Structure 1
Amino acid sequence: MVLIRLPHDLQFEPLIAYSQVLLLEAGENENIDYDIPGVSTKEYRPILWNYRTERNGFSCLSRPSGSCEVRTGKVLGGSSVTNDMKYTRGSKADYDGWHKGALGSLDWKYENLLEYFKHSEDNGDYDVLLNSHYHARSGEMHVQRFKHIDRYIEVFQAAFSEMGLRTMDINTNVPEAVVNHQFTVFNNTRMSTNTAFVKPVKHRKNLVIMTGATVTKIVIDKQEKTVEGVLYEFEKGKERRAFVKREIILTAGAINNVRLLHLSGIGPNADIKKYNITPIINLPVGNNYQDQVTIGGLAFALNDVPPVTENQVINDFKTWFENRSGPLASRGINQVSAFLQLYEHVNAPDVELALEGNYIRSDKFMLTNVSVHTAEETNMPLSYYNLVNIYPILLRPKSKGKVMLNRRNPKYGRPVIQANFLKESEDLDTLVDSIDIALQLLDTKEMKKTEVKFAPLDLFPCDRLSNRDQWNCIARHYTKALSNPIGTCRMGENSTESVVDFQLRLHGVEGLRIIDASVMPTHVRGGLLAATMMIAEKGAKMIIKDWKENKGHYYSRR
């Protein structure tokens, strides 16, 4: 988003010429196909930035090209259109960990952030609202549980309870729980940040939204170190420009922020010079890359699921479109997960055991083992499943990586992501420790009663190993990125270790803020949506405060 004054030498529509806010989005507007809860959007490439990590010797070894996919939203509303819609905030310990003694970081302690979580929240479950210290109503983003509960949701919840986990609200800073998740939905329809925040104000005369517009460069006055504007493209190779009157708000995410800043001369001088780009500001842009990871290969087969017919699917779609109900008004078994505290060093979970259903034709089980890829590939709505993938999610990875420009084509090529997943042995140990707990589900009375079995997946090349050695091998070969990247523009006190200050302003440049998950120093123990909305709420308040104090003129830090 850019606050602009426009150049006199370019022709624009009259509305744009008088606008104060210009929002540039590389993707297109979302449509109703993405709003159906039971339909997975994670595979729909037109609305995704489809990136891959670099090959290494310790993760993603049996994935295509020996690397992991990282997919983030390329659509108005970003990854809130393509994610799983779970509303999980993370733990108090996560946010308190961002405070390193610097005075400015005190505002980022959890007790000072709770109001920003609550400001945008419109919670629709009254039992959750009873704990009003953590939750609120009347915000723009509606969250609630799905009403549609199938048999196996109850079975898995009961099995986790049998193992000693209590059903609790994970957003109240509990270290362990089995969770019947709340989702960002309204009337059983996906509610993206576009739906919640942008659509209600899109008709304002001082706002112009341009989709299909990719920002290619931030123009900076090299002498004054102030932002002048941006260059952007509607068509490849045809650039336009917009001048900035006050400031640019950069929200392109942990990967695309790096590409844009590096192309603009902002980043490590040594890296930028490699691409014949003139360095302007020397900052560690691109360092500190982190993403949550999980592994494939752990799945349970359900015994007595009847075949799904074409007519059944058609009728269920009709039911959703007509009255927003039925199986497609849910996420199936994805509605349940368990948060586990494996170690006692922090009062917070270390791993989430996330469940995801998949429907596989039964003859495949009878003919041969099913590959990990087939077990994960979504071909049907999530509401239909005869296989349950158990994904142990590493909530707070220790391994860190780096993002850089593409070597052959810096401007248009995919950024280079050296993710370093599982480079730290502690990350591997945490994942494998959680698998031992997940396998205990099969020993519960509930699972035995319903005849849930371990699925016979083809685990080559780990099939000849056993016990912990086998799971170590599986984790290395079938690593899976959650596509929740953070950290590449981390906030901090100085320009040596961070990119933005605690007011989210870029070190050394006036007129540029970054307000998205890339500013997070470390991961939170949950998804990114709730945390990113909190950062946006806090960032908006910072902007208003600065502008009021400076009577509409841009602040100066000189």
Structure 2
Amino acid sequence: MEFDFVIVGAGSAGCIVASRLSESGRHSVLLVEAGGEDKSFWFKIPVGYAKSYYNPKVNWMYRTEPETELGGRRIYAPRGKVQGGSGSINAMVFVRGDRSDFDDWRDAGNLGWAFDDVLPFFRKLETHARGESHWHGGHGPIHVTPMRGGTHAVSDAFLEACNQLGLPANGDFNGATIEGAGVYDINTRRGQRSHSSAEYLRPALRRGSVHIERNAHATRVVLSSDGKAQAVEVVQNGRVRTFHARREVILSAGAIDTPKLLQLSGIADGSALRLLGIPTKHHLPAVGQNLQDHLCASFYYRSKQPTLNGDFASLLGQAKFGLAYLLRRSGPFAMSVNQAGGFFRGRPEEARPNIQLYFNPLSYRIPDNPRAGLTPEPYPGFLMAFNACRPTSRGTVSITSPDPLSAPQIRPHYLTTDRDIEEVLQGSRLMRTIASQPALQSWIEEEVSPSASADSDEKLLEYFRHNSGSIYHLCGSCRMGSDAGQSVVDHRLRVHGIPGLRIVDASVFPNITAGNINAPTMMVAEKASSMILEDMR
């Protein structure tokens, strides 16, 4: 079968690219997705993400290799294996990132990627509940809803504690500045998940301008004799199929599977490919390098007053929340579990906010046993979590065999720089300082963990090493840049040295952005779609 464009990955980016390239009706588009359709009710309801967290039918359920600086633990890295990708299974916090993050992209040699260049594409993808403004879109497919006004009382106490500490308040993390304490926006529409599968792909499928092949696992990009990307080979229901692209092959498989697919295709570091017996089609040493992620740890508190723990743990409480959701599309079932938080300077001398906090009016442990499920702590409690905004550790993604069905090795190399360790201590001290303010002290009975016994920097760092985990913002493994020795794509997301091949997903990030990365990933897809259409003209 032949199409103008063949896109691998129906995730947050791929759904957008497929929709935009097909809008005119002049171009045929095929979308190849390894997972199935996201038609379950649990993909629609915000709290349903707990159902997909350990579900191998819709989640790749990757784990890193043992991380030396984290006590040899293998860190869980869920990735969406379903239409909508990780956008179908995430917690929906909508944060663009700091202006300086995108200016950094430009300063790394990527023309057209400064904040002022990308803001129009953030606005293009969005319909904000407060309407159109300089900072927000009013007519885009993705609906963004503030959680302000619906938060739990203990979340409000967190905000007051930040105020008592003299930290700035921020009514809009996606406005003029990211700095300060506030309540997160989420991508929902009338209480249901608003993501690129629902808002971009489904309308395109109804138009008939996009064809999708689900349960089709891409195994390699096929190059012509002159080195141009011309097709994608997949395994679908045990059968090998090849889909040809008249114009371009576009990889949107994400920060793990995009570099994996390039390596399987012989597009990577030639010496590493030779060890696996894979013929080198194009030597591109940066494939799978520069992997970045936000590493997060939670502090747990026992509360003097009721939080969401009791209601979430009881059938009566769940029924109450379920009724509120069904009748009014409101209540905890319509929200992210991460209600409040903010972006702060871990010390006054920091040039920009470098620590992100999440405040959750529910305290729960994430079990290592997938069958255990996510259950609240057996007492009234809440948690605060933090991560460094821009970790400096860099990792790798690499295949270990020519078998396309084998999981790649993921090595984030967490906490391998002095800067990252310093920010662990900054974040830990900040959490403790906020918790010590009167507004939260009126709620806190005790700090359960790390507990008062963690009374030194050494003990706080030890706690972080043994209790931190990914907050699932993997990116950067096929980074954008002008040097083919240090990057994988140019500033128009064309793979260096391979005509007809582009990458459009979070793997192209030159550096990780502050905050959750789903919104910037969708922005990349909007901007990439515009560039592809420009290049065709």
TM-score over 0.5 for the pair: yes
In structure 1, runs of 5+ residues without a counterpart are 7-17, 361-369, 549-558
How many Å separate the matches in 2 of 1:414 and 1:502? Answer: 29
Alignment pair present for 1:310 and 2:315: yes
Alignment pair present for 1:38 and 2:39: no
How many Å separate the matches in 1 of 2:114 and 2:107? Answer: 10
Deviation at 1:166, TM superposition (A): 2.8
Q: Which residue of 1 aligns with 2:461?
A: 472
Deviation at 1:205, TM superposition (A): 2.7
Deviation at 1:454, TM superposition (A): 3.2
Q: Which residue of 1 aligns with 2:382?
A: 388
**SS of residue matched to 2:293:** coil
Alignment pair present for 1:527 and 2:516: yes
For residues 157-204 of structure 1, give each alpha carbon's deviation from its aligned partner in whole angstroms, at most 9, with x where no partner exists. Answer: 211221112321222353531121111000011112101111122122
Change in Cα spacing, 1:449 to 1:373, as seen in structure 2 (3 Å) is: farther
Q: Which residue of 1 aligns with 2:219?
A: 216
One-letter code aligned to 2:184: H
How many Å separate the matches in 1 of 2:260 and 2:367? Answer: 33
Q: Which residue of 2 aligns with 1:74?
A: 81
How many Å separate the matches in 1 of 2:5 and 2:168? Answer: 55
Deviation at 1:357, TM superposition (A): 4.2
How many Å separate the matches in 2 of 1:352 and 1:406? Answer: 35
Change in Cα spacing, 1:504 to 1:355, as seen in structure 2 (3 Å) is: same
For residues 20-58 of structure 1, give each alpha carbon's deviation from its aligned partner in whole angstroms, at most 9, with x where no partner exists. Answer: 211111112212212222333362423212111111321
| Consecutive aligned runs of 4 or more in structure 1 exceeding 4 Å deviation | 343-347, 370-374
How many Å separate the matches in 2 of 1:167 and 1:381? Answer: 29
How many Å separate the matches in 2 of 1:234 and 1:473? Answer: 46
Q: Which residue of 1 aligns with 2:64?
A: 53
Q: Which residue of 2 aligns with 1:423?
A: 416
Deviation at 1:453, TM superposition (A): 3.1
**SS of residue matched to 2:207:** coil
Q: Match for 2:150 among 148, 157, 179? A: 148
How many Å separate the matches in 1 of 2:501 and 2:432? Answer: 49
One-letter code aligned to 1:331: S
Q: Is the 8 A contact 1:184 1:191 kept in 2?
A: yes
How many Å separate the matches in 1 of 2:332 and 2:91? Answer: 16
How many Å separate the matches in 2 of 1:470 and 1:528? Answer: 30
How many Å separate the matches in 2 of 1:423 and 1:327? Answer: 38
How many Å separate the matches in 2 of 1:393 and 1:507? Answer: 33
For residues 82-104 of structure 1, give each alpha carbon's deviation from its aligned partner in whole angstroms, at most 9, with x where no partner exists. Answer: 222111111111111112474xx
Q: Is the 8 A contact 2:301 2:449 kept in 1?
A: no
One-letter code aligned to 1:537: E
Q: Which residue of 2 aligns with 1:356?
A: 360
One-letter code aligned to 1:136: G
Deviation at 1:438, TM superposition (A): 0.9
Q: Is the 8 A contact 1:254 1:489 kept in 2?
A: yes
**SS of residue matched to 2:101:** helix
How many Å separate the matches in 2 of 1:69 and 1:144? Answer: 29
Larger Rg: 1
Change in Cα spacing, 1:286 to 1:344, as seen in structure 2 (3 Å) is: farther
Q: Is the 8 A contact 1:37 1:190 kept in 2?
A: yes
Q: Match for 1:454 among 446, 449, 469? A: 446
In structure 2, runs of 5+ residues without a counterpart are 7-25
How many Å separate the matches in 2 of 1:281 and 1:475? Answer: 41
Q: Is the 8 A contact 2:295 2:388 kept in 1?
A: yes
Matched length: 505
One-letter code aligned to 1:123: H
Deviation at 1:410, TM superposition (A): 3.6
How many Å separate the matches in 1 of 2:178 and 2:336? Answer: 24
**SS of residue matched to 1:414:** coil
Change in Cα spacing, 1:476 to 1:327, as seen in structure 2 (3 Å) is: closer
How many Å separate the matches in 2 of 1:526 and 1:5? Answer: 32
Alignment pair present for 1:204 and 2:207: yes
One-letter code aligned to 1:261: L
How many Å separate the matches in 2 of 1:120 and 1:5? Answer: 22
Change in Cα spacing, 1:188 to 1:433, as seen in structure 2 (3 Å) is: same
Change in Cα spacing, 1:344 to 1:498, as seen in structure 2 (3 Å) is: farther
Report which stretch shifted further, 287-296 or 308-317: 308-317
Report which stretch shifted further, 286-295 or 149-158: 149-158
How many Å separate the matches in 1 of 2:502 and 2:159? Answer: 43
One-letter code aligned to 2:237: E
How many Å separate the matches in 1 of 2:169 and 2:500? Answer: 47
1:372-383 alignment runs, 5 A limit: 379-380=374-375
Q: Match for 2:37 among 10, 29, 38? A: 29
1:28-177 alignment runs, 5 A limit: 28-30=36-38, 31-41=40-50, 43-45=53-55, 46-59=57-70, 61=72, 66-100=73-107, 102=109, 105-125=110-130, 132-146=133-147, 147-168=149-170, 169-174=172-177, 176-177=179-180
Change in Cα spacing, 1:71 to 1:271, as seen in structure 2 (3 Å) is: same
How many Å separate the matches in 2 of 1:431 and 1:479? Answer: 10
Change in Cα spacing, 1:418 to 1:5, as seen in structure 2 (3 Å) is: closer
Q: Is the 8 A contact 1:216 1:231 kept in 2?
A: yes
How many Å separate the matches in 1 of 2:498 and 2:415? Answer: 35
One-letter code aligned to 1:191: S
Q: Is the 8 A contact 1:122 1:141 kept in 2?
A: yes
Deviation at 1:476, TM superposition (A): 1.6
Change in Cα spacing, 1:346 to 1:536, as seen in structure 2 (3 Å) is: farther
**SS of residue matched to 1:232:** strand
How many Å separate the matches in 2 of 1:516 and 1:344? Answer: 34
Deviation at 1:252, TM superposition (A): 0.3
